[in-house]
């Protein structure tokens, strides 16, 4: 069923329930349903229907969702991009767009729009969270997009009486999924857009976020009951802090191309998300290997057949190159990072996330990115870039590295930066940090 039709059902059953609360005010489900219908009639009047690709780049998050769901109701495929992109930028991204929506859609009066969906409809396209180069649009079927909604609802305990804060930009698949899942569930979505979101936490019962946002949420949790955390690994200390604040954490591992792969709903470790099979394929027994998944939630591929990390074998297994320890069915999945980010130094392979996990615990470290810097003899050396206005002294960082890391893992070069660049999903943009460091960015200073 299209998400828009879920909204219509909620509008019939609970018309006064607040559906979305954004920078310009709030809409009930009845009001949202009416706006979606009117916007869908406008699109159909333009000849936009099944098979069409609708690019959406609207600044206001509620107006953006109306456009997305109007395209959904018309049977077209919405593709959410940055509202700052002009037509030239969109042309760089894809040449397959049938219409670009960069302003709130007008309302056209008329009868309710009817569309008969199929599970294999191309129902959603979203961008992967890579930080450099041409964005890759990932395309998925209706079934892969919406059929996982009930599983997330069950795991996180999200129901129609919840108020769900979605603090990030909807161009991120993480936050876009959170928003449409909320509306499909019949709950209330808080969509701050570019406004500060921390003051809105007290209004919510559920929040979707990435790990570095969790401490801010826990300062004043209010009525917050659950934090759904994705995008990067979550440390044990963070989960313990959430428990102390009375907030349950549901963390998950996935990728834009794979959707959900594994979930940790109780702190016991990552286990396969419902419907997912996992393999870790290593070249030798006991070694780290690549994570491969097979499930109903996988994306169909990249728009325009763009190049990307997604690989697929003949048996329907896919991988984006993430690395994990050896795994057997029934065990916990222990991720070790993205394979392409591994650092080769003096014949040793260093996974950046292993180093970051240890150093992130040092007081004064806001966040950290570890990359490889070129070295004439070793190939690369491990290099740490610390986020924070007042980073801890290098001597303390090195002492922690000596106590918690093997010799090959210990950073040889240390830098500090006031603020790390981040992807749309809120993760540190590792490739962009490395590029800025190599380019001599004056904001990145060496720690003496």
The pLDDT, as a whole number, for residue 92 is: 72
On whether both 323 and 348 belong to a single domain, the answer is: no
On whether both 334 and 431 belong to a single domain, the answer is: no
Q: Which two tokens stand for residue 43?
A: 């699109």
On whether both 156 and 304 belong to a single domain, the answer is: no
Strand ranges inside 37-121, DSSP E: 53-56, 77-80, 99-101
Could you give the CA distance from residue 179 to residue 167 in angstroms, rounded to a whole number? 10
On whether both 277 and 156 belong to a single domain, the answer is: no
Domain of 34, CATH number, reads 3.40.50.12780
- Point out the least confidently predicted range of 335-349, 371-385, 433-447: 335-349
Task: Give 10-42 pLDDT, tens digit per residue.
Answer: 999 999 999 999 999 999 999 999 999 999 999
The pLDDT, as a whole number, for residue 349 is: 67
The pLDDT, as a whole number, for residue 377 is: 67
Under a CB-based contact definition with an 8 Å cutoff, are residues 367 and 216 in contact? no
The pLDDT, as a whole number, for residue 341 is: 72
The pLDDT, as a whole number, for residue 131 is: 36
Task: Give 85-105 pLDDT, tens digit per residue.
Answer: 888 878 877 778 899 999 999
Task: Give 269-282 pLDDT, tens digit per residue.
Answer: 999 999 999 999 98
Range of the domain at 425: 342-446
Residue 129 pLDDT greater than 60, yes or no: no
Confidence category of residue 338, pLDDT binned at 50, 70, 90 = low
On whether both 322 and 401 belong to a single domain, the answer is: no
Q: Chain-wide mean pLDDT for the chain?
A: 90
On whether both 265 and 362 belong to a single domain, the answer is: no
On whether both 325 and 350 belong to a single domain, the answer is: no
On whether both 368 and 422 belong to a single domain, the answer is: yes
Place of tokens 């996992």: 278
- Average pLDDT of the segment spanning 290-311: 89
Beta-carbon contacts of residue 12 (< 8 Å; ≥ 6 apart): none
The pLDDT, as a whole number, for residue 346 is: 67
- Point out the least confidently predicted range of 56-60, 70-74, 120-124, 291-295: 120-124
- Average pLDDT of the segment spanning 216-231: 93
Under a CB-based contact definition with an 8 Å cutoff, are residues 231 and 212 in contact? no
Domain of 283, CATH number, reads 2.30.38.10
On whether both 425 and 437 belong to a single domain, the answer is: yes
Number of domains the chain is built from: 3
The pLDDT, as a whole number, for residue 130 is: 44
Place of tokens 């200073």: 445
């Amino acid at each position: 069923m299209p998400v828009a039709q879920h909204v219509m059902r909620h509008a019939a059953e609970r018309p006064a329930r607040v559906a979305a609360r954004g920078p310009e005010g709030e809409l009930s489900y009845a009001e949202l349903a009416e706006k979606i219908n009117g916007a869908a009639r406008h699109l159909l009047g333009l000849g936009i229907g099944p098979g069409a690709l609708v690019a959406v780049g609207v600044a206001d998050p509620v107006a953006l969702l109306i456009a997305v769901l109007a395209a959904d109701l018309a049977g077209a495929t919405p593709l959410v991009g940055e509202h700052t992109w002009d037509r030239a930028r969109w042309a760089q991204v894809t040449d397959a767009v049938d219409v670009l929506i960069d302003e709130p859609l007008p309302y056209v009066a008329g009868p309710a729009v009817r569309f008969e969906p199929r599970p294999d409809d191309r129902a959603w396209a979203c961008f992967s969270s890579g930080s450099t180069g041409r964005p890759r649009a990932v395309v998925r079927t209706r079934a892969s997009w919406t059929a996982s909604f009930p599983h997330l609802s069950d795991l996180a305990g999200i129901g129609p009486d919840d108020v769900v804060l979605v603090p990030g930009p909807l161009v991120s698949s993480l936050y876009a999924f959170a928003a449409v899942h909320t509306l499909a569930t019949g709950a209330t979505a808080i969509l701050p857009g570019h406004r500060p979101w921390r003051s809105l936490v007290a209004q919510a019962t559920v929040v979707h976020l990435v790990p570095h946002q969790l401490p801010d949420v826990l300062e004043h949790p209010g009525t917050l009951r659950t934090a759904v955390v994705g995008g990067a690994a979550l440390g044990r200390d963070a989960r313990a802090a959430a428990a102390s604040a009375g907030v349950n954490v549901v963390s998950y591992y996935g990728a834009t191309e794979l959707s959900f792969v594994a979930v940790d709903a109780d702190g016991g470790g990552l286990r396969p998300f419902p419907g997912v099979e996992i393999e870790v394929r290593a070249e030798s027994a006991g070694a780290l290997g690549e994570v491969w998944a097979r499930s109903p939630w996988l994306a169909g591929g990249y728009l325009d057949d763009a190049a990307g990390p997604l690989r697929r074998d003949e048996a329907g297994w896919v991988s984006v190159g993430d690395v994990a320890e050896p795994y057997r069915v029934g065990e916990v999945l222990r991720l070790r990072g993205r394979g392409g980010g591994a650092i080769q130094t003096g014949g040793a392979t260093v996974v950046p996330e292993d180093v970051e996990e240890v150093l992130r615990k040092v007081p004064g470290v806001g966040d950290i990115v570890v990359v490889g810097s070129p070295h004439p003899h070793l190939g690369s050396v491990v290099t740490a870039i610390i986020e924070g206005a007042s980073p801890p002294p290098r001597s303390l960082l090195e002492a922690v590295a000596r106590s918690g890391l093997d010799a090959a893992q210990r950073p040889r070069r240390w830098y500090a930066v006031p603020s790390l660049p981040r992807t749309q999903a809120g993760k540190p943009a590792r490739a962009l940090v490395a590029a800025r460091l190599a380019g001599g960015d004056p904001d990145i200073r060496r720690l003496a």
